[in-house]
Amino acid sequence: MTSRKHVCHIVPPYLMQRLDPARLDQDNGFRAARAEHLTRVLAQRPAPEAGSTAAEAGDWTVYTAANGTDLPGEKVRAAGEPDSGDESVDEAATGITGSLALFEEVYGRDSYDGQGIEVVMTVHYDRDYANAFWDGTQLVFGDGDGKIFQRFTKAVDVIGHELSHAVTEHTAGLVYQGQPGALNEHISDVYGSCVKQRLLGQSAEEADWIIGEGLFTESVQGVGLRHMLEPGTAYDDPELGKDPQPAHMDDIYDGPDDNGGVHINSGIPNRAFALAAKAIGGSSWDGAGKIWWAALTNGAVTTDTDFAGFAAATVAEAGDQAEAVTTAWSEVGVTPASGTPAPGGEAPTTTVRVRRSGGFMGRTTEGTAKLAPSAAQVATVRNLVAGGGAPSKPKGADRYVYEFEIDGQTAVVHEGDLSPELHALANDLLEKYDS
Protein backbone atom coordinates (compact mmCIF):
# COMPACT_ATOMS: atom_id res chain seq x y z
CA MET A 1 0.00 0.00 0.00
CA THR A 2 1.26 3.46 -0.84
CA SER A 3 2.00 5.47 2.30
CA ARG A 4 0.06 8.68 2.99
CA LYS A 5 2.19 11.30 4.69
CA HIS A 6 0.21 14.53 4.65
CA VAL A 7 -3.52 14.29 4.96
CA CYS A 8 -6.25 16.95 5.04
CA HIS A 9 -9.76 15.51 5.28
CA ILE A 10 -12.96 17.25 4.21
CA VAL A 11 -15.03 15.50 6.90
CA PRO A 12 -14.00 16.73 10.36
CA PRO A 13 -13.09 14.19 13.05
CA TYR A 14 -16.06 15.11 15.25
CA LEU A 15 -18.35 13.76 12.52
CA MET A 16 -16.14 10.75 11.85
CA GLN A 17 -16.32 9.85 15.56
CA ARG A 18 -20.10 9.73 15.37
CA LEU A 19 -20.13 7.74 12.17
CA ASP A 20 -17.20 5.34 12.48
CA PRO A 21 -14.81 5.47 15.48
CA ALA A 22 -12.57 2.82 13.91
CA ARG A 23 -12.21 4.92 10.79
CA LEU A 24 -11.34 7.91 12.95
CA ASP A 25 -8.44 5.98 14.44
CA GLN A 26 -7.16 5.34 10.92
CA ASP A 27 -7.59 8.99 9.94
CA ASN A 28 -5.86 10.15 13.11
CA GLY A 29 -2.88 8.08 12.04
CA PHE A 30 -2.83 10.03 8.81
CA ARG A 31 -2.98 13.32 10.70
CA ALA A 32 -0.19 12.37 13.08
CA ALA A 33 2.27 12.26 10.19
CA ARG A 34 1.04 15.56 8.75
CA ALA A 35 3.15 17.98 10.76
CA GLU A 36 6.33 16.02 10.06
CA HIS A 37 5.59 15.96 6.35
CA LEU A 38 4.76 19.68 6.21
CA THR A 39 8.04 20.53 7.93
CA ARG A 40 9.87 18.46 5.33
CA VAL A 41 7.97 20.11 2.46
CA LEU A 42 8.81 23.59 3.72
CA ALA A 43 12.47 22.66 3.96
CA GLN A 44 12.58 21.01 0.55
CA ARG A 45 11.06 23.53 -1.84
CA PRO A 46 13.71 23.49 -4.53
CA ALA A 47 13.65 25.92 -7.39
CA PRO A 48 13.06 24.22 -10.74
CA GLU A 49 16.31 23.19 -12.39
CA ALA A 50 17.40 24.91 -15.57
CA GLY A 51 16.05 23.08 -18.56
CA SER A 52 13.45 21.14 -16.58
CA THR A 53 10.08 20.61 -18.22
CA ALA A 54 7.00 21.20 -16.12
CA ALA A 55 3.73 19.39 -16.81
CA GLU A 56 1.39 21.27 -19.07
CA ALA A 57 -1.14 23.57 -17.44
CA GLY A 58 -4.33 21.71 -16.52
CA ASP A 59 -2.54 18.34 -16.57
CA TRP A 60 -4.41 15.78 -14.44
CA THR A 61 -5.11 12.05 -14.25
CA VAL A 62 -7.91 10.16 -12.52
CA TYR A 63 -7.32 6.67 -11.13
CA THR A 64 -9.63 4.20 -9.45
CA ALA A 65 -8.75 2.28 -6.31
CA ALA A 66 -11.62 -0.12 -7.13
CA ASN A 67 -12.70 0.04 -3.47
CA GLY A 68 -9.23 -0.92 -2.31
CA THR A 69 -6.64 1.25 -0.57
CA ASP A 70 -3.62 1.02 -2.87
CA LEU A 71 -2.79 4.41 -4.34
CA PRO A 72 -3.00 5.72 -6.94
CA GLY A 73 -4.69 2.62 -8.41
CA GLU A 74 -5.60 1.97 -12.04
CA LYS A 75 -5.57 4.85 -14.51
CA VAL A 76 -9.02 5.63 -15.91
CA ARG A 77 -8.98 9.07 -17.50
CA ALA A 78 -6.51 11.87 -18.21
CA ALA A 79 -6.83 15.50 -19.31
CA GLY A 80 -8.12 15.80 -22.87
CA GLU A 81 -9.79 12.38 -22.87
CA PRO A 82 -13.58 11.89 -23.22
CA ASP A 83 -15.98 10.93 -20.44
CA SER A 84 -15.41 7.47 -19.02
CA GLY A 85 -19.03 6.72 -18.10
CA ASP A 86 -18.06 6.35 -14.44
CA GLU A 87 -19.85 9.13 -12.50
CA SER A 88 -17.10 9.55 -9.91
CA VAL A 89 -14.34 9.66 -12.51
CA ASP A 90 -16.12 12.18 -14.69
CA GLU A 91 -17.16 14.36 -11.74
CA ALA A 92 -13.54 14.39 -10.58
CA ALA A 93 -12.48 15.42 -14.09
CA THR A 94 -14.99 18.28 -14.21
CA GLY A 95 -14.11 19.45 -10.71
CA ILE A 96 -10.36 19.46 -11.18
CA THR A 97 -10.63 21.20 -14.55
CA GLY A 98 -12.69 23.98 -12.99
CA SER A 99 -10.40 24.21 -9.98
CA LEU A 100 -7.21 24.46 -12.03
CA ALA A 101 -8.87 27.03 -14.30
CA LEU A 102 -9.74 29.20 -11.29
CA PHE A 103 -6.17 29.28 -10.02
CA GLU A 104 -4.61 29.80 -13.45
CA GLU A 105 -7.08 32.16 -15.09
CA VAL A 106 -7.92 34.31 -12.06
CA TYR A 107 -4.79 34.13 -9.90
CA GLY A 108 -2.11 33.26 -12.46
CA ARG A 109 -1.00 30.05 -10.72
CA ASP A 110 -0.09 27.04 -12.85
CA SER A 111 -1.30 24.04 -10.83
CA TYR A 112 -0.88 23.80 -7.08
CA ASP A 113 2.91 24.14 -7.08
CA GLY A 114 2.98 27.09 -9.47
CA GLN A 115 5.09 25.03 -11.89
CA GLY A 116 2.37 23.07 -13.70
CA ILE A 117 2.73 19.80 -11.80
CA GLU A 118 0.29 17.05 -12.76
CA VAL A 119 -2.65 16.61 -10.38
CA VAL A 120 -3.27 12.97 -9.46
CA MET A 121 -6.70 11.90 -8.20
CA THR A 122 -8.06 8.57 -7.01
CA VAL A 123 -11.77 7.74 -6.76
CA HIS A 124 -13.57 4.70 -5.32
CA TYR A 125 -11.15 4.63 -2.41
CA ASP A 126 -11.84 1.85 0.12
CA ARG A 127 -15.32 0.50 0.90
CA ASP A 128 -17.97 2.83 2.32
CA TYR A 129 -15.27 5.46 2.81
CA ALA A 130 -17.05 8.65 3.88
CA ASN A 131 -14.31 11.19 3.29
CA ALA A 132 -12.01 12.95 0.85
CA PHE A 133 -8.45 14.06 1.47
CA TRP A 134 -5.17 15.47 0.18
CA ASP A 135 -2.24 13.27 1.26
CA GLY A 136 0.65 15.50 0.25
CA THR A 137 0.90 13.82 -3.15
CA GLN A 138 -2.60 13.41 -4.53
CA LEU A 139 -6.35 13.86 -4.00
CA VAL A 140 -8.43 10.91 -2.81
CA PHE A 141 -12.23 10.50 -2.78
CA GLY A 142 -14.42 7.87 -1.15
CA ASP A 143 -17.83 6.70 -2.33
CA GLY A 144 -19.54 7.53 0.97
CA ASP A 145 -21.29 5.10 3.27
CA GLY A 146 -24.67 5.34 1.53
CA LYS A 147 -26.33 6.08 4.86
CA ILE A 148 -25.10 9.56 5.71
CA PHE A 149 -22.87 10.44 2.77
CA GLN A 150 -23.04 10.01 -0.98
CA ARG A 151 -19.93 9.92 -3.19
CA PHE A 152 -17.52 12.76 -2.43
CA THR A 153 -16.93 13.74 -6.04
CA LYS A 154 -20.55 14.84 -6.23
CA ALA A 155 -19.78 18.24 -4.66
CA VAL A 156 -17.43 20.24 -6.87
CA ASP A 157 -16.43 22.49 -3.97
CA VAL A 158 -15.02 19.43 -2.19
CA ILE A 159 -12.66 18.89 -5.12
CA GLY A 160 -11.68 22.56 -5.07
CA HIS A 161 -11.24 22.37 -1.29
CA GLU A 162 -8.78 19.48 -1.47
CA LEU A 163 -6.76 21.05 -4.30
CA SER A 164 -6.59 24.26 -2.26
CA HIS A 165 -4.92 22.35 0.58
CA ALA A 166 -2.15 21.53 -1.89
CA VAL A 167 -1.93 25.19 -2.89
CA THR A 168 -1.68 26.32 0.75
CA GLU A 169 1.00 23.71 1.42
CA HIS A 170 3.08 25.14 -1.43
CA THR A 171 2.52 28.80 -0.52
CA ALA A 172 2.09 29.94 3.10
CA GLY A 173 2.39 26.40 4.48
CA LEU A 174 -0.02 27.08 7.37
CA VAL A 175 0.53 24.42 10.03
CA TYR A 176 -2.44 22.14 10.64
CA GLN A 177 -3.01 23.08 14.29
CA GLY A 178 -4.95 25.74 16.18
CA GLN A 179 -5.71 29.03 14.44
CA PRO A 180 -3.16 28.52 11.61
CA GLY A 181 -4.79 25.15 10.94
CA ALA A 182 -8.26 26.71 10.97
CA LEU A 183 -6.97 29.24 8.44
CA ASN A 184 -5.66 26.33 6.36
CA GLU A 185 -9.18 24.85 6.34
CA HIS A 186 -10.66 28.29 5.75
CA ILE A 187 -8.52 28.90 2.64
CA SER A 188 -9.69 25.56 1.23
CA ASP A 189 -13.34 26.43 1.88
CA VAL A 190 -12.83 29.86 0.31
CA TYR A 191 -11.44 28.60 -2.97
CA GLY A 192 -13.64 25.50 -3.01
CA SER A 193 -16.61 27.85 -2.80
CA CYS A 194 -15.12 30.14 -5.45
CA VAL A 195 -14.78 27.16 -7.80
CA LYS A 196 -18.43 26.26 -7.28
CA GLN A 197 -19.69 29.83 -7.68
CA ARG A 198 -17.57 30.39 -10.79
CA LEU A 199 -18.82 27.24 -12.49
CA LEU A 200 -22.40 28.20 -11.66
CA GLY A 201 -21.89 31.82 -12.72
CA GLN A 202 -23.10 33.12 -9.35
CA SER A 203 -22.36 36.44 -7.70
CA ALA A 204 -21.41 36.59 -4.03
CA GLU A 205 -24.95 37.75 -3.31
CA GLU A 206 -26.51 34.83 -5.21
CA ALA A 207 -24.28 32.10 -3.74
CA ASP A 208 -25.59 29.72 -1.07
CA TRP A 209 -22.17 29.62 0.73
CA ILE A 210 -22.67 25.95 1.62
CA ILE A 211 -19.67 23.61 1.55
CA GLY A 212 -20.50 20.06 0.47
CA GLU A 213 -24.04 20.64 -0.69
CA GLY A 214 -25.43 17.35 -2.03
CA LEU A 215 -23.10 15.10 -0.03
CA PHE A 216 -25.72 14.12 2.54
CA THR A 217 -28.30 11.47 1.74
CA GLU A 218 -31.97 12.37 1.98
CA SER A 219 -32.15 10.90 5.49
CA VAL A 220 -29.92 13.62 6.97
CA GLN A 221 -31.35 16.83 8.39
CA GLY A 222 -28.82 19.22 6.95
CA VAL A 223 -27.75 21.11 3.85
CA GLY A 224 -24.00 20.41 3.82
CA LEU A 225 -20.83 20.08 5.86
CA ARG A 226 -20.42 23.78 6.62
CA HIS A 227 -22.18 27.08 6.00
CA MET A 228 -19.67 29.86 5.38
CA LEU A 229 -22.10 32.75 5.80
CA GLU A 230 -23.96 31.29 8.78
CA PRO A 231 -21.56 28.94 10.62
CA GLY A 232 -23.27 26.51 12.98
CA THR A 233 -26.38 26.07 10.81
CA ALA A 234 -25.27 23.47 8.24
CA TYR A 235 -26.95 20.52 9.97
CA ASP A 236 -28.87 19.51 13.07
CA ASP A 237 -29.42 15.77 12.88
CA PRO A 238 -30.18 13.10 15.51
CA GLU A 239 -27.20 11.01 14.40
CA LEU A 240 -24.73 13.73 13.41
CA GLY A 241 -25.63 16.18 16.16
CA LYS A 242 -25.59 19.93 15.62
CA ASP A 243 -23.05 21.81 13.52
CA PRO A 244 -20.49 23.02 16.12
CA GLN A 245 -18.91 25.83 14.12
CA PRO A 246 -18.76 29.21 15.88
CA ALA A 247 -19.51 32.41 13.98
CA HIS A 248 -17.67 34.74 16.39
CA MET A 249 -14.48 34.81 18.44
CA ASP A 250 -16.59 34.88 21.60
CA ASP A 251 -17.42 31.23 20.96
CA ILE A 252 -14.08 29.96 19.64
CA TYR A 253 -13.25 26.36 20.55
CA ASP A 254 -10.00 26.09 22.53
CA GLY A 255 -9.84 22.38 23.29
CA PRO A 256 -7.49 19.68 21.95
CA ASP A 257 -9.87 17.87 19.59
CA ASP A 258 -9.71 18.29 15.82
CA ASN A 259 -6.06 19.47 16.00
CA GLY A 260 -7.17 22.36 18.16
CA GLY A 261 -10.40 22.96 16.26
CA VAL A 262 -9.12 23.36 12.70
CA HIS A 263 -12.47 22.39 11.15
CA ILE A 264 -14.56 23.87 13.95
CA ASN A 265 -13.01 27.32 14.19
CA SER A 266 -12.69 27.81 10.43
CA GLY A 267 -16.27 29.05 10.65
CA ILE A 268 -15.02 32.36 12.04
CA PRO A 269 -12.82 33.40 9.08
CA ASN A 270 -15.28 31.72 6.71
CA ARG A 271 -18.00 34.13 7.79
CA ALA A 272 -15.60 37.07 7.50
CA PHE A 273 -14.84 36.13 3.89
CA ALA A 274 -18.50 35.68 2.95
CA LEU A 275 -19.41 39.02 4.53
CA ALA A 276 -16.51 40.75 2.77
CA ALA A 277 -17.39 39.16 -0.57
CA LYS A 278 -21.00 40.33 -0.32
CA ALA A 279 -19.99 43.83 0.78
CA ILE A 280 -17.49 44.18 -2.08
CA GLY A 281 -20.04 42.85 -4.55
CA GLY A 282 -19.69 41.09 -7.87
CA SER A 283 -18.10 37.66 -7.92
CA SER A 284 -16.34 36.23 -4.88
CA TRP A 285 -13.37 35.04 -6.92
CA ASP A 286 -12.68 38.44 -8.48
CA GLY A 287 -13.52 40.49 -5.40
CA ALA A 288 -12.66 39.17 -1.95
CA GLY A 289 -10.99 36.13 -3.53
CA LYS A 290 -8.22 38.25 -5.07
CA ILE A 291 -7.63 40.06 -1.79
CA TRP A 292 -7.36 36.79 0.13
CA TRP A 293 -5.07 35.39 -2.58
CA ALA A 294 -2.70 38.34 -2.36
CA ALA A 295 -2.60 38.00 1.42
CA LEU A 296 -1.87 34.27 1.17
CA THR A 297 0.95 34.61 -1.34
CA ASN A 298 2.74 37.92 -0.70
CA GLY A 299 4.87 36.63 2.19
CA ALA A 300 2.92 38.31 5.00
CA VAL A 301 1.22 35.03 5.95
CA THR A 302 3.59 32.43 7.35
CA THR A 303 3.27 28.97 8.85
CA ASP A 304 2.01 30.14 12.25
CA THR A 305 -0.13 33.15 11.31
CA ASP A 306 -3.25 33.50 13.47
CA PHE A 307 -6.64 35.06 12.69
CA ALA A 308 -5.53 38.58 13.63
CA GLY A 309 -2.40 38.30 11.50
CA PHE A 310 -4.32 36.98 8.52
CA ALA A 311 -6.95 39.69 8.91
CA ALA A 312 -4.19 42.30 8.87
CA ALA A 313 -2.74 40.80 5.70
CA THR A 314 -6.12 40.96 3.93
CA VAL A 315 -6.75 44.55 5.00
CA ALA A 316 -3.28 45.54 3.79
CA GLU A 317 -4.12 44.11 0.35
CA ALA A 318 -7.67 45.43 0.14
CA GLY A 319 -6.96 48.88 -1.30
CA ASP A 320 -10.23 50.76 -1.79
CA GLN A 321 -12.07 47.84 -0.14
CA ALA A 322 -10.12 48.06 3.13
CA GLU A 323 -13.13 49.36 5.06
CA ALA A 324 -15.37 46.52 3.85
CA VAL A 325 -12.75 43.92 4.76
CA THR A 326 -12.05 45.47 8.17
CA THR A 327 -15.77 45.57 8.93
CA ALA A 328 -16.19 41.92 7.94
CA TRP A 329 -13.46 40.84 10.37
CA SER A 330 -14.92 43.09 13.06
CA GLU A 331 -18.31 41.39 12.72
CA VAL A 332 -16.74 38.05 13.68
CA GLY A 333 -14.75 39.54 16.55
CA VAL A 334 -11.33 39.60 14.91
CA THR A 335 -9.22 42.74 15.21
CA PRO A 336 -6.45 42.89 12.58
CA ALA A 337 -3.00 42.67 14.16
CA SER A 338 -1.39 45.97 15.13
CA GLY A 339 0.30 47.84 12.36
CA THR A 340 -2.70 47.68 10.03
CA PRO A 341 -3.92 51.20 9.21
CA ALA A 342 -7.47 52.31 9.54
CA PRO A 343 -8.97 52.83 6.08
CA GLY A 344 -7.64 56.10 4.73
CA GLY A 345 -4.97 56.36 7.43
CA GLU A 346 -1.23 56.58 7.03
CA ALA A 347 0.36 53.35 5.79
CA PRO A 348 2.12 51.40 8.59
CA THR A 349 5.75 50.38 8.45
CA THR A 350 7.95 47.74 10.01
CA THR A 351 11.60 48.53 10.68
CA VAL A 352 14.20 46.01 9.53
CA ARG A 353 17.84 46.57 10.51
CA VAL A 354 20.94 44.78 9.21
CA ARG A 355 24.46 44.97 10.69
CA ARG A 356 27.35 43.50 8.71
CA SER A 357 30.65 42.93 10.50
CA GLY A 358 33.89 41.07 9.88
CA GLY A 359 35.28 40.66 6.41
CA PHE A 360 38.94 41.20 5.54
CA MET A 361 38.90 44.70 7.03
CA GLY A 362 36.87 43.88 10.12
CA ARG A 363 34.57 46.77 9.29
CA THR A 364 31.02 47.10 10.64
CA THR A 365 28.26 48.73 8.60
CA GLU A 366 24.57 49.05 9.25
CA GLY A 367 21.47 49.66 7.19
CA THR A 368 17.82 50.23 8.11
CA ALA A 369 14.61 50.19 6.12
CA LYS A 370 10.99 50.89 6.91
CA LEU A 371 8.92 48.39 4.96
CA ALA A 372 5.22 47.64 4.63
CA PRO A 373 4.16 44.88 7.08
CA SER A 374 3.02 42.82 4.09
CA ALA A 375 6.40 43.02 2.35
CA ALA A 376 8.02 39.68 1.58
CA GLN A 377 11.28 40.85 3.19
CA VAL A 378 9.46 41.40 6.50
CA ALA A 379 8.13 37.85 6.48
CA THR A 380 11.60 36.51 5.57
CA VAL A 381 13.30 38.23 8.51
CA ARG A 382 10.50 37.34 10.92
CA ASN A 383 10.83 33.69 9.95
CA LEU A 384 14.56 33.92 10.51
CA VAL A 385 14.37 35.38 14.02
CA ALA A 386 11.49 33.05 14.95
CA GLY A 387 13.80 30.11 14.28
CA GLY A 388 15.96 31.10 17.28
CA GLY A 389 19.00 29.06 18.24
CA ALA A 390 22.70 29.83 18.13
CA PRO A 391 24.32 31.02 14.90
CA SER A 392 25.98 28.43 12.71
CA LYS A 393 29.75 28.02 12.66
CA PRO A 394 31.65 30.28 10.24
CA LYS A 395 32.44 28.75 6.88
CA GLY A 396 35.90 29.87 5.76
CA ALA A 397 37.86 32.94 6.85
CA ASP A 398 37.49 36.68 6.22
CA ARG A 399 33.78 36.35 5.52
CA TYR A 400 31.03 38.60 6.76
CA VAL A 401 28.68 38.06 9.70
CA TYR A 402 25.16 39.50 9.41
CA GLU A 403 22.84 40.45 12.24
CA PHE A 404 19.20 40.96 11.32
CA GLU A 405 16.80 42.77 13.67
CA ILE A 406 13.02 43.08 13.55
CA ASP A 407 10.39 43.64 16.27
CA GLY A 408 13.19 43.93 18.84
CA GLN A 409 14.47 40.43 18.06
CA THR A 410 17.75 39.57 16.36
CA ALA A 411 19.32 36.65 14.54
CA VAL A 412 22.94 36.18 13.44
CA VAL A 413 23.76 34.50 10.14
CA HIS A 414 27.22 33.83 8.74
CA GLU A 415 27.73 34.72 5.11
CA GLY A 416 27.98 31.12 4.00
CA ASP A 417 24.49 30.39 5.34
CA LEU A 418 22.78 33.47 3.94
CA SER A 419 19.71 32.67 1.83
CA PRO A 420 19.31 34.48 -1.51
CA GLU A 421 16.41 36.49 -0.07
CA LEU A 422 18.38 37.61 2.99
CA HIS A 423 21.44 38.33 0.86
CA ALA A 424 19.44 40.57 -1.47
CA LEU A 425 17.81 42.39 1.46
CA ALA A 426 21.16 42.95 3.21
CA ASN A 427 22.80 44.23 0.04
CA ASP A 428 19.93 46.64 -0.59
CA LEU A 429 20.02 48.10 2.92
CA LEU A 430 23.79 48.29 3.11
CA GLU A 431 24.04 49.83 -0.36
CA LYS A 432 21.88 52.70 0.86
CA TYR A 433 24.28 53.11 3.79
CA ASP A 434 27.42 53.04 1.66
CA SER A 435 26.01 55.47 -0.86
pLDDT higher than 70, residue 372? yes
Q: Would you say residue 187 lies in a domain?
A: no
**pLDDT for the residue numbered 263:** 93
- Name the more confident of 387 and 242: 242
- 324 & 356 share domain: no
Which position among 9, 37, 161, 162 bears the catalytic label? 162
Looking at the predicted structure, is the pLDDT value of residue 34 above 50?
Answer: no
Quick: pLDDT tens for 12-28: 666 666 666 555 455 44
Give the CATH number of the domain where residue 149 resides: 3.10.170.10
> Tens of pLDDT along 195-227?
999 999 999 999 999 999 999 999 999 999 999
| Catalytic residue (choose from 6, 91, 263, 317) | 263
- Considering the domain architecture, whether residues 113 and 206 belong to the same structural domain is answered as no
Tell me, what's the pLDDT at 51?
36
Is 340 a domain residue? no
Domain count, the chain: 3
Specify whether 162 is catalytic: yes
Is residue 189 a part of any domain in this protein? no
Check if the beta carbon of residue 79 is closer than 8 Å to that of residue 60: yes
Radius of gyration of the chain (CA): 23
Q: Is the pLDDT of residue 397 over 90?
A: no
Q: Catalytic residue at 105?
A: no
Q: What contacts 208, CB < 8 A, 6 or more positions away?
A: 223
- Terminal Cα distance for the chain, rounded: 61
**402: domain range?**
350-434
Single pTM value for the model:
0.71
End residue of a domain, out of 331, 360, 385: 331
